[in-house]
Copies of this chain bind each other. A is one copy, B any other.
Amino acid sequence: MTTNTRIVLAARPQGQAGLEHFRLETVALEPLQEGQVRVRHHYLSLDPYMRGRMNEGKSYAAPQPLNEVMIGGTVGEVIESRHPRYTPGDWVVGMGGWQQIGVVDANQVGALHKVDPTHVPLSHYLGAVGMPGVTAWYGLVRIIDPQPGQTVTVSAASGAVGSAVGVLAKARGCRVVGIAGGPDKCAYVREELGFDDCIDHRRYPDYLALAQALKAACPQGIDGHFENVGGAVLDAALLRSNAFARFAICGMIAGYEGQPLPLLNPALILVNRLRVQGFIVSEQMQDWPPALAELGQLVGSGRFRPRETIAQGIESAPAAFLGLLKGHNFGKQLVRLI
């Protein structure tokens, strides 16, 4: 290959994101500089956080620059190296972006991590044994800190993060109840992931009805809630929270587009003496090694079989991403680039 095909951010969405906000480009490869490594990406990870980066304005991270390659996690093979620690044939994870081939300054700390595709399938290093898995681990272990016998709920339960939350919580002796969209996802959450129950939020017209369903599924109330969605799900979980419950706020995908979603009953934070805490996993690097060790063990041993939705080819990434924002994916959303 002498060219690289990539997706850049063409325009910032005002409200809902669409295909018109992305642009496909093909560019010639440049010679490597000293210290650089060229990686042929096999998989690109698509994640909800990317939607936030497409907006201008204050957030926890700088916005995605216009006309530059969309950011994204990637796993692939080193095909050329001018850095002594890397040789062609190495398998590496990095933030290679929405493109077939990435060039990385390997002297940057944490820019690349070598992985072993014989331990777990390559794609899982972008999911259960990667950023989404560590996100689940941090929110569950460091914020919710669940005790055996407690009840933990998680929204977007069939997704890359939610599925890992449930498996990790089951491993800690908790009752685990998922919330997901549609009967297929709920069946997967219950039967394949081993959650105790899963609620199909599409069956409930509002947060009060959803709270009734949570009451039935969580007869002892909710001690920990892992939030990937926000909106009605969060309102319902708050209503069923026990005294001293912990809420790990990982995503507010429901509010990423359009108007902010209010929290209807914040007085419950006081009434139930809750701790509600937001976090970003990239700021918690100290916890990646223990998290990846546990997750690698769960996946490598077959106790956790993460589900994936894989789009083919870099040109399919924008549509796959827009589908992810609407919940069309089932499990971890990836793009195969080979």
Contact = CB atoms under 8 A, between A and B. Distances in A.
Given A262-B263, A263-B262, A264-B260, A276 B269 contact: yes
Contacts of A94: none
B271 A277 contact: no
Contact of A250 (B52, B249, B270): B270
Copy number in this complex?
2
A166 interface: no
Interface string A202-241: 0000000000000000000000000000100010000000
A183 interface: no
A230 B260 contact: no
A59 B269 CA distance: 11
Contacts of A265: 260, 262
Contacts of A269: 249, 276-278
Given A263-B263, A266-B262, A279 B271 contact: no
A58 interface: yes
Interface in A247-305: 249-252, 255, 260-267, 269-280, 283
A252 B273 contact: no
A271 B58 CA distance: 8
A252 to B, nearest CB: 4
A275 B267 CA distance: 15
A157 to B, nearest CB: 18
Nearest to A57: B271
A322 interface: no
Nearest to A252: B267
Contacts of A52: 271
B260 A267 contact: yes
Nearest to A59: B271
Nearest to A262: B262
7 contacts: A60-B270, A230-B266, A252-B270, A262-B264, A269-B276, A275-B275, A275-B276
Interface of A: 52, 58-60, 230, 234, 243, 249-252, 255, 260-267, 269-280, 283
5 smallest CB-CB distances across A and B, nearest first, come from: A262-B262, A270-B278, A263-B266, A263-B263, A269-B278
Given A58-B271, A273-B278, 8 more contacts: A60-B243, A230-B267, A252-B267, A252-B270, A255-B267, A270-B279, A273-B283, A275-B278
